[in-house]
Structure 1
Amino acid sequence: MSLRMVEIVCDNAGKDRVLAEMRQFDDDRFLSWSAGEDEDDEPLRARVLLDGDVASGLVDRLERRFSGETGFRIVIYPVQATIPRLEPPENNSEPGSEPEQTETPDASPKREGVIREELRAAVQEGAEFTGLFALLATLASVVASIGLLRDNPAVVIGAMVIAPLLGPNVGLALATVLGDARLARASLGTLAGGIALVVAPALALGWLLGADAGSGELAARTVVGLSDVALALAAGVAGIVSLSRGASTALVGVMVALALVPPLSACGLFWGAGELDHAASAGLLALTNVVCLNLAGVLTFAIRGVRPLWYHEIRSARSAVFRALAFWTMLLLAVTAVIVLNWRFF
């Protein structure tokens, strides 16, 4: 059971209305809660322990009703454990009977514990181009390039750990489903900058040290097949699902870096060494992975019900999702066609 502690703070003037709204939401689904209702002259500071699947609906409902109230704020805490242990609620309905419907008319669709602001907070900082991002991308490129040149998989894996490419990739997908133009611009710019910072040091090392296409690690980045498409799509879906279920961003970041850092570094190495055919193949693999990661990200977020809060934003966000899916799908078809043609004629 994924638990959240939701704290609601509000000035005294709106206290009674917030409490009434919480009770109307169906407080039977609150595992425990306290509100300090006896302190009439004090601002409201309520704490509610509830399942993550329920928390998203409560947060949306309260934000929609009271986000304009003076002093209103919602703070969300992840819960590691409680003592005594909470047991799942018993199902008291008769066999064969229909489950009781408790949703209110304006309730948000179930999103399997996905809380929009938690996702935004998890990716927004990493989607900004900062000095630290530039440093880590450059270091990841140097480490990956050395690992590729030495044919040392362990060193290549080390580069994936420090690569900061999770934020812009996931940020771009999240910005699409939320219709957040600012986050989309920041993510796109950071992704482009990150790609350039990974390729440039590898290009310099390739010019200085050369690149042996017979090396196992380098050769693996010059062969692009349909299995690579499937792998990148699976990595994208698994990464988004893991992130939205509260997995460590470091672990998800390694999954994203696996698809991007080695082929981009190989592209730079071959380019610097003058092996343009091999550089093009590695670049094709990197492009394939970027397309698949973003297509899988947008599709997974949309299926899991991540969307804007306000109704007037939902329509524009839905349009953005359709356009993005069409764009990434066309790019994927084009990349797949190039892969198939390479198989047949080269």
Structure 2
Amino acid sequence: MRLVQLTIPAGKRRTLLEALDEQGVDYVVTEETSDRDYTAVAYFPLPASAVEPVLDSIQEQGVDEDAYTVVVDAETVISRRFEALREEYENGDVESERISRQELQAEAESLTPSFDIYATMTVVSAIVATSGLLLDSAAVVVGSMVIAPLIGPALGASVGSVLDEEDLFLKSIKYQLVGVFLAILAAAVFALTVRVTNVVPPGLDISAVDEISERLAPDLLSLAVALGAGVAGIVSISTGISVALVGVMIAAALIPPAATVGIALAWGQPSAAIGSTVLVLVNVLSVNLAGLLTLWYAGYRPENLFELGPTQERVRRRVVGLVVIVLLFGVFLGGITYASYSAATFEENTREDIETLLEQPEYDGYQLLELEVVMDEDYPFLSPERVIVTIGGPPGETDPELADELHERVNRYGDDSIDVEVRYVEVAHR
């Protein structure tokens, strides 16, 4: 529910009040005594879904933006005419649940802080995320998402596009580009600092850190996260729901991958940063794509109907462009996913084959204790490079032919020659 406060310009009082009467709006009018160009102020409650059509009808009567309008939340309205309005405008579809175009634009603008605050919070968030990644602490990484101010620019670009507010669109795009650059730069500088000062253990293998490794070789599920964040963000802002938690989700799609890029660069492994860089880019684009589609589906259009055609064409071009780029990145992520699937299948098949081999009578007394597949460092498309097979056998006995047989079995599933290291462990049975 909303309470609208509308200043009535001189000469427009009767016309505007008749327009409110035609809409079935219950209102109160007070006299204006500030000696300005207004004769009165009208107050009237509206369902959230009725704000946009009612304000549009009022603007058609000649009220421009020089006469200010204030829309605030109302907790409770007791009025028969208000209930009739609610029944008329709230019919359960998407458009009836959304806030007005005017409120949406104001909300999108308010979510984007000043540049100094935005830059500062982005840098702090990236540093906290870098710390969490190097500590392998999911809790710290989540904390970095909470303070990241990314939801405003991420949603502002979509709002600016569908409402034909190019200033908001360009500002949001600039903020997003600068935010990603600052996050990567801050993460790289901070990670390099802690590395050269030995704050982290010397010789730390970043690929062995779970929180980092999962972002060095992302898969297609990452795309689903970004698209979900964009849809959830737009739905939350367009329905007036709190966007705080959705902001964390959008930050989850951007800040940790950007921090991972910085860490890989600080460790002198630019090739390892390829996957996480693609993840950052595809996440940014996916959030914008999901936002555009969701807003257009929700029925948001520019205020001036003469701009509807050009705006629709502009939105269509941007959607097509984003879809093409996201699909290209999706193919890249699909390749990483396939490489990961192939590695997992290789390990499973190798394990089953070795266990079958050791069940043969000539290897009675031997058993597979552990199978470790060591991946290469050809990020982001990792593949098996070495296999360590730990065999348990009778004390003082080793079968010289077993190692050759294991090497053959392992390479049966590999595309290239894979080194096989066989370790024997004496197993005594009592």
Call closer, same or farther: CA 1:117–1:89 in 2, change over 3 Å.
closer
Q: Specify the SS of the correspondent of 2:268.
A: coil
Q: 2 CA distance for matches of 1:195 and 1:160?
A: 14
Q: 2 CA distance for matches of 1:9 and 1:113?
A: 25
Call closer, same or farther: CA 1:49–1:314 in 2, change over 3 Å.
same
> For residues 1-346 of structure 1, what are the structure 2 equivalents within 5 Å?
3-24=1-22, 26-27=23-24, 30=25, 32-36=26-30, 43-68=39-64, 72-82=67-77, 110=95, 112-127=97-112, 130-210=115-195, 212-344=206-338, 346=381
Letter in 2 for 1:333: L
Give, in angstroms, the shift of residue 323 of structure 1: 0.6
**What is the Cα-based RMSD across aligned positions, in Å?**
2.8
Answer whether contact 1:270 1:276 (CA < 8 A) is retained. yes
Call closer, same or farther: CA 1:279–1:86 in 2, change over 3 Å.
farther
Call closer, same or farther: CA 1:64–1:162 in 2, change over 3 Å.
farther
Give, in angstroms, the shift of residue 64 of structure 1: 3.4
Q: Specify the SS of the correspondent of 1:43.
A: strand
Letter in 1 for 2:213: A
Call closer, same or farther: CA 1:53–1:142 in 2, change over 3 Å.
same
Q: 2 CA distance for matches of 1:90 and 1:36?
A: 23
Call closer, same or farther: CA 1:90–1:342 in 2, change over 3 Å.
closer
Q: Specify the SS of the correspondent of 2:73.
A: strand
Give, in angstroms, the shift of residue 128 of structure 1: 6.3
Call closer, same or farther: CA 1:298–1:154 in 2, change over 3 Å.
same
Q: Specify the SS of the correspondent of 1:213.
A: helix
Give, in angstroms, the shift of residue 82 of structure 1: 4.3
Structure number, greater radius of gyration: 2
Q: 2 CA distance for matches of 1:340 and 1:19?
A: 60
Q: 1 CA distance for matches of 2:76 and 2:187?
A: 46
Answer whether contact 2:122 2:179 (CA < 8 A) is retained. yes
Give, in angstroms, the shift of residue 277 of structure 1: 2.8
Call closer, same or farther: CA 1:344–1:116 in 2, change over 3 Å.
same
Q: Scaled by the length of structure 2, what TM-score is found? A: 0.69
Give, in angstroms, the shift of residue 44 of structure 1: 2.3
Offset from partner CA, 1:196-230 (integer Å, 9 cap, x none): 11111111123233462211211221232222212
Q: 2 CA distance for matches of 1:63 and 1:273?
A: 59
Aligned twin of 1:97: none
Q: Scaled by the length of structure 1, what TM-score is found? A: 0.85
Letter in 1 for 2:4: V
Call closer, same or farther: CA 1:276–1:91 in 2, change over 3 Å.
closer
**Please, which runs of 5 or more residues in structure 1 have no aligned partner?**
93-99, 102-108
Q: Specify the SS of the correspondent of 1:221.
A: helix
Call closer, same or farther: CA 1:184–1:153 in 2, change over 3 Å.
same
Call closer, same or farther: CA 1:142–1:314 in 2, change over 3 Å.
same
Q: Specify the SS of the correspondent of 2:224.
A: helix
Q: 1 CA distance for matches of 2:105 and 2:153?
A: 12
Offset from partner CA, 1:46-100 (integer Å, 9 cap, x none): 111121111221012212332338x6222111123346999965999xxxxxxx9
Give, in angstroms, the shift of residue 252 of structure 1: 2.7
Give, in angstroms, the shift of residue 112 of structure 1: 3.1
Higher relative contact order (CA 8 A, sep 6+): 1
Greater shift in the superposed pair: 149-158 or 116-125: 116-125
Answer whether contact 1:5 1:48 (CA < 8 A) is retained. yes
Letter in 2 for 1:17: T
Offset from partner CA, 1:226-275 (integer Å, 9 cap, x none): 22212211121111101111122333321211110011011111111112
Call closer, same or farther: CA 1:91–1:78 in 2, change over 3 Å.
closer
Letter in 1 for 2:7: V
Give, in angstroms, the shift of residue 117 of structure 1: 2.0
**Please, which runs of 5 or more residues in structure 2 have no aligned partner?**
196-204, 340-380, 382-430
